[in-house]
Amino acid sequence: MFRAELEKIVSYEAGKPIELVARDYGVAASDVVKLASNENPFGASEKVRAKLAAIVNQTHRYPDDSYFALKAAIANKYNMNSKNIIIGSGSDQIFEFISHVILERGDIVLQNKIDFAMYAIYTAQAGGETLRAESEIHDLNEFEKLLAKDPKIIYLCTPANPLGNAMDRDEIYKFLPKVNQNSLVVIDAAYMEFAAYKDAKKHIEPRDVTEKFPNVIYTGTFSKAYGLGGMRVGYGIANEKIIKELHKMRAPFNITTLSLAAAIEAIGDQEFVQKTITHNFAEMEKYEKFARDRKIKYIESYTNFITFFFDRQNEASEIAQKLLKNGMIVRDLKSYGLNAIRVTIGLEAENAKFMKLFDEARR
């Protein structure tokens, strides 16, 4: 009954929700700490909360389906035109649209070996074939060699999830001219706000990259720095022709009335984003020192999470499991073939609790 492609797909397993851990391990829900999905530890900004409270009686209304005000705000932030922008239910939905507008059965999609898990799922849904580079950390020389396989879509996730590293803009700009103009390059910039703050060399501006390279789409999200993961709002920025085709895949009202209002308010509150980012890297330093003191390997992170690597077989999974029993949720990266855990930078107290429980788990 079902399409053959579906056999290749294993449904994505999201980070464990707090309620489930509380139920399974008998920990009070209020004591559970979730550092597993790279959510903003502050939640949404006060301004966003106030806005949502004020419009909670509007849920019977469909949103303005042109997303006029949100696109104008994004355009303004990035010095672009609204015609260059498409809004998705998370940037995830933009990847989904991309797969469906580009891929014919059997077409190749190039991505990194260790990469955001959803790319391969959308590729398979649309009948495409995923080709993975072999190196764990993005190596664009290797990507360049793989261009010979004629990939129709190329994913460049920078900063990368789940490893946390970021590519230099120069490196990417050296690679892009080598790509066939008929292939689409997706720059997944879900954590760009963090990387741009930490190191200007990692900063990619959507206007600059899409003007220089018309076959690039830049994707961003409100789920991370803006603290709106639960509202599901993301965007794609590209030249008008690409955006026009992507719109053919979009159902009306693909984000909600509340999500739309929240995102508009959030993008206007850059002070909150700055607070989020400075807090993030101050706490990140504590994690780095913690890891160094214990000789735990980590990669320098340009995101709101840090990934710890282990030597003893299965150690990461054992630690993740012990933490879970104590109500601390982190991401075990076993499904990526890694003996590693990914920890989202939380509030000061949450991070301190992680470090305490981690030491106990390793004893």
What residue ranges bind ligand PLP (CB under 6 A)?
Answer: 38, 90-92, 116, 157, 161, 188, 190, 221, 223-224, 229, 234
Comparing CA positions, the residue from 120, 122, 205 lying closest to residue 158 is 205
Let me know the angle formed at the C-alpha of 329 by 324 and 334, rounded to the nearest 5 degrees: 85
For residues 161 and 183, which CB has a smaller minimum distance to ligand PLP in the complex?
A: 161
For residues 231 and 357, which CB has a smaller minimum distance to ligand PLP in the complex?
A: 231
Strand 85-88 relative to strand 234-237: parallel, antiparallel, unpaired? antiparallel
For residues 191 and 298, which CB has a smaller minimum distance to ligand PLP in the complex?
A: 191
For ligand PLP, the nearest residue by Cβ is 90
For residues 91 and 259, which CB has a smaller minimum distance to ligand PLP in the complex?
A: 91
Tokens of 315: 């150690």
For residues 92 and 283, which CB has a smaller minimum distance to ligand PLP in the complex?
A: 92
**Any residues with CB less than 8 A from the CB of 308 and at least 6 apart, and which?**
291, 296, 297, 298, 316, 340, 341, 343
Cβ of residue 233: shortest distance to ligand PLP, in angstroms?
A: 7
For residues 189 and 357, which CB has a smaller minimum distance to ligand PLP in the complex?
A: 189
For residues 197 and 327, which CB has a smaller minimum distance to ligand PLP in the complex?
A: 197
Cβ of residue 235: shortest distance to ligand PLP, in angstroms?
A: 9
Comparing CA positions, the residue from 134, 128, 129, 144 lying closest to residue 113 is 134
For residues 32 and 157, which CB has a smaller minimum distance to ligand PLP in the complex?
A: 157
Cβ of residue 194: shortest distance to ligand PLP, in angstroms?
A: 11
DSSP 3-state assignment of 96? Answer: helix
Strand 153-157 relative to strand 184-188: parallel, antiparallel, unpaired? parallel
Cβ of residue 266: shortest distance to ligand PLP, in angstroms?
A: 13
Cβ of residue 267: shortest distance to ligand PLP, in angstroms?
A: 14
Cβ of residue 303: shortest distance to ligand PLP, in angstroms?
A: 8
**Any residues with CB less than 8 A from the CB of 65 and at least 6 apart, and which?**
252, 253
Cβ of residue 179: shortest distance to ligand PLP, in angstroms?
A: 20
For residues 225 and 357, which CB has a smaller minimum distance to ligand PLP in the complex?
A: 225
Q: 49, exposed or middle or buried, with CB in 10 Å at 0-12, 13-18, 19+?
A: middle
DSSP 3-state assignment of 24? Answer: helix
Tokens of 303: 């995101």
For residues 22 and 299, which CB has a smaller minimum distance to ligand PLP in the complex?
A: 299
Task: Name the E strands within the chain.
Answer: 33-34, 85-88, 108-111, 129-132, 153-157, 184-188, 216-221, 234-237, 297-298, 305-309, 328-329, 331-332, 340-344
DSSP 3-state assignment of 192? Answer: helix
Cβ of residue 322: shortest distance to ligand PLP, in angstroms?
A: 25
Check residue 136 and report its DSSP letter: S
Cβ of residue 123: shortest distance to ligand PLP, in angstroms?
A: 14
- Determine the angle formed by the axes of helices 18-25 and 315-325, rounding to 10 degrees: 80
Amino acid at 314: N
Cβ of residue 98: shortest distance to ligand PLP, in angstroms?
A: 12
d(CA 255, CA 64): 10
